[in-house]
Amino acid sequence: MRTSTTMNSRAGRSARTALAVGAIAVLLTACGGGDEKMKPDTEAAQTAVPSMEASQNTLTPEELPTALLEGQHKEIYARFSLTLKEAISEEDLTATAEGFIEGIESLALSTTLFHNGTEQRTWLSNTGNKGMMAIFDPEGVILGIQVLELASSPETDAKLTKVEYALPFEGDWLVYWGGTNVFENYHYEYESQRYAYDFIQAKDNYSYTGDPLKNESYYAFGKKIFAPADGTVVSVVNEIADNEPVGVMNPKQPAGNVVVIDHGGEYSYLAHLKQGSAAVKAGDQVKQGDFIGLTGNSGNSSEPHLHFQVSDGADLFAAKAINILWEGKLKPVQGETVTPIAP
């Protein structure tokens, strides 16, 4: 997430835009994995300057779906940041948008995520097989926009873990990536991490205070992480340095420091932990709520956060992720704040 990645590689803060089949553009961040197409770039978001037309245009984030369906391409393009206009022409926007809206009658708001000065919205079509994502600055200037045909996996979506899992932390955490489509959860595209989550902490819509290049500036950094259910620790990685300055990532060791727990044939992964913070070792028996380690920024991670998932095997990249049955019937989705249930 602007935070973990599918654990393949996704650039951290470099401003990247792309015009691909079925997509208008991209400016997104993640935790690690996959190609570049689902990653918002907050640095670009914070530094982008609106054009003169954009500052005079009154098109709001709420109006974007209707404008797209009604063919208001000039008005939409006027709201593009200068950076986005350098990557995408109005002609490209028009051609892609016209193809995308074929067969669509409406686009309904799905999720909203506020993060470090940006607002990210996703909409799903009435047909259920297409979606749109856009990132805005505080003035409503469009920093990134993407449209896609959405693949779904209804069979695995419906198959939940046998074990009920508790949220593995204390206090309020923000779901940065989580859900059952690639806009809500970029991991969804990859079978090995389809139901993974990236969690951060935020205050007043910011995940840090002070110097954004220092790990200690992030609210999540150094927070206690706990066992989500009873089990046996099968592997621990504890020696990988936390990435600093923040934004520099380590794709060679994608999961970073990680604890893997066997819950009876289901394996939880708590990844990107702080260097040297693991409080368990392979073979240890743990109970739900036992201290495991501290949140860090190790591995293919663009800021301090927790990557959490449950899979059907102990090898993160060879196993398949399982949709999680959460304690209290929680169904965390991108943009929601979640809090553990009190014992």
- Per-residue pLDDT tens for 303-326? 999 999 999 999 999 999 999 999
3 state DSSP class of 23: coil
> Model confidence at 9, in pLDDT bands (50, 70, 90)?
very low
3 state DSSP class of 205: coil
CA atoms within a 13 Å half-sphere pointing along the CA-CB vector of 156: 21
Whether the upstream peptide bond of residue 332 has omega within 30° of 0, thus cis, is no
Tell me the mean pLDDT in the region 73-84. 96
Structure token pair of residue 94: 């028009």
Radius of gyration of the chain from Cα atoms?
20
Residues 77 and 111: beta-carbon distance below 8 Å: no
The C-alpha torsion from 150 through 249 and 251 to 262, rounded to 10°, is: -80
pTM: 0.86
Q: Residues 91-135: pLDDT tens digits?
A: 999 999 999 999 999 999 999 999 999 999 999 999 999 999 999
| 306-311/267-273 β-pairing | antiparallel
Residue 31: predicted pLDDT: 56
Estimate to the nearest angstrom the gap between the alpha carbon of 184 and the chain centroid. Answer: 7
Q: Residues 213-222: pLDDT tens digits?
A: 999 999 999 9
Mean pLDDT, the chain, rounded, equals 87
Q: Which residues of 158-195 are buried (b: 16+ CB within 10 A; e: fewer)?
A: eeebebbbbbbbeeebbbbbbbbbbbbbbbbbbebbbb
The kind and range of the H/E element at 268 are: strand 267-273
Structure token pair of residue 75: 């008005």
Residues 111 and 100: beta-carbon distance below 8 Å: no
More confident residue, 4 or 198: 198
CA distance 306 to 293: 11
